[in-house]
Amino acid sequence: MTNKYVADIGTGWPKLPPLEAWQDTCTTVHMWTQIVGKVRLKLSPDINHSWGCTLYVSARGLTTSPIPYRGLVFAIDFDFIDHMLHISTSEGTKRSFALRPMPVADFYHQMMRVLEELNIEISILTKPSEVEVAIPFEKDDQHASYDIESMTHFWRALVQADRVLKDFRARFVGKASPVHFFWGWFDLAATRFSGRTAPKHPGGVPNVAARITEEAYTQEVWGGGFWPGTGLGEAAFYAYAYPEPAGFDKYVIQPESAYFHDKLDKFVLPYETVRASTDPDQMLLSFFQTTYEAVANLAHWDRDSLERKAIEA
């Protein structure tokens, strides 16, 4: 299958359509990733801070990475070049089906049927997480959009964000998360930890048990990432702190076009600002670095022991 949109994107940062133009696709694929993510959640070891259930950016889309099952492993891959879902096992068996406009319920039933064909027996909690209106997957006939061009462009933006976040992560020797895709909020994220205990998180995330959120924020963190902009209106990068030290929202960060969004309680940098700049990588790195410095300086993190020292040639 040849994707006619690949040639239109180039190798750099793709221009994204306005969120309103592909919101239906975004919501539909969000639910598809939740179905896939909940399979990994059900079968994978429970790694701290929910790191064991995430997806990862791949060379063709998003992947679960290997999932253990009865002495074997299997992986589920979204292919956003050929627009297919692939499920493959370590026994050499594989099944695929096309990503196309279809209700969430159809995607759910088709994926569970394919897993059964591969002799993978599993049931998952079908109620979506981190959304206000949580329609069970098997009953969701409302969300059924899939625009190839929009999804291809968004995935290629994820590729760029993933690359820069990994560069930023490498500059920290303290406890840090992988760069991974959380299907709950539909965002690519990375987290740095101070190593100190944080106050109990108040919870309140829609359709997420309080114990999950409390465990995720047992230590002081800086978090940053990228999401399509649901709740904001445009794709953007973000950065936050928990707990938020006094003065965090007023701290002077870079670039000047970044701002603190009071409702989201995060610093925000629009994706288009980064894409249109003369040096997108450096602009994004400065955003992550200065928002990290905001929490590290205001909360008195032990930066000397947590940050990687430059190695002279």
Domain count, the chain: 2
Strand positions, DSSP E, 35-158: 56-57, 61-63, 67-69, 72-79, 84-89, 94-98
Over residues 20-29, mean pLDDT? 98
User: Last residue of a domain, which of 98, 119, 139?
Assistant: 139
43-71 per-position pLDDT tens digit: 999 999 999 999 999 999 999 999 999 99
10 falls within a domain: no
Check whether 310 has a pLDDT greater than 90.
no
Per-residue model confidence (pLDDT) at position 12: 86
Are residues 243 and 263 located together in one domain of the fold?
A: yes
**What residues make up the domain containing 246?**
148-305
User: Last residue of a domain, which of 106, 139, 172?
Assistant: 139
5 falls within a domain: no
Q: Which of 235, 210, 215 is nearest to 158 (CA)?
A: 235
313 falls within a domain: no
228 falls within a domain: yes
4 falls within a domain: no
Are residues 165 and 275 located together in one domain of the fold?
A: yes
Per-residue model confidence (pLDDT) at position 1: 42
Q: Which of 156, 151, 148, 182 is nearest to 59 (CA)?
A: 156
Are residues 207 and 277 located together in one domain of the fold?
A: yes
Are residues 280 and 154 located together in one domain of the fold?
A: yes
71 falls within a domain: yes
Are residues 199 and 178 located together in one domain of the fold?
A: yes
Are residues 166 and 57 located together in one domain of the fold?
A: no
Per-residue model confidence (pLDDT) at position 312: 52
213 falls within a domain: yes
Check whether 92 has a pLDDT greater than 50.
yes
| Pair 189, 182: CB distance under 8 Å | yes
13 falls within a domain: no
103-130 per-position pLDDT tens digit: 999 999 999 999 999 999 999 999 999 9
Are residues 96 and 163 located together in one domain of the fold?
A: no
Q: Which of 95, 100, 89 is nearest to 67 (CA)?
A: 89
Q: Which of 12, 128, 115 is nearest to 70 (CA)?
A: 115
143-202 per-position pLDDT tens digit: 999 999 999 999 999 999 999 999 999 999 999 999 999 999 999 999 999 999 999 999
Check whether 3 has a pLDDT greater than 90.
no
Q: What is the DSSP string of the chain?
A: ---TTHHHH-SSPPPPPPHHHHHHHHHHHHHHHHHHHHHHHHHS---GGGGGG-BEE-SSEEE---EEETTEEEEEEEETTTTEEEEEETTS-EEEEE--S--HHHHHHHHHHHHHHTT-------S-SS-SS---GGG--S-----HHHHHHHHHHHHHHHHHHHHHHTTB-SSB---EEETTTTEEEEEEEEEEEPPPP----TTS-HHHHHHHTSEEEEEEEEE--TTTSS-EEEEEEES--TTGGG---SSTT-EEETTTTEEEEEHHHHHTSS-HHHHHHHHHHHHHHHHHHHTT--HHHHBPPPPP-
Per-residue model confidence (pLDDT) at position 311: 57
Check whether 7 has a pLDDT greater than 50.
no
Are residues 73 and 114 located together in one domain of the fold?
A: yes
User: Last residue of a domain, which of 139, 171, 188?
Assistant: 139
Are residues 106 and 175 located together in one domain of the fold?
A: no
Are residues 134 and 244 located together in one domain of the fold?
A: no
Check whether 9 has a pLDDT greater than 50.
no
Are residues 104 and 188 located together in one domain of the fold?
A: no
Over residues 283-295, mean pLDDT? 98
Q: pLDDT confidence of 6, banded at 50, 70, 90?
A: very low
Residue type, 46: D
Per-residue model confidence (pLDDT) at position 8: 45
Over residues 134-145, mean pLDDT? 98
Mean pLDDT rounded to a whole number for the chain: 95
Are residues 154 and 233 located together in one domain of the fold?
A: yes
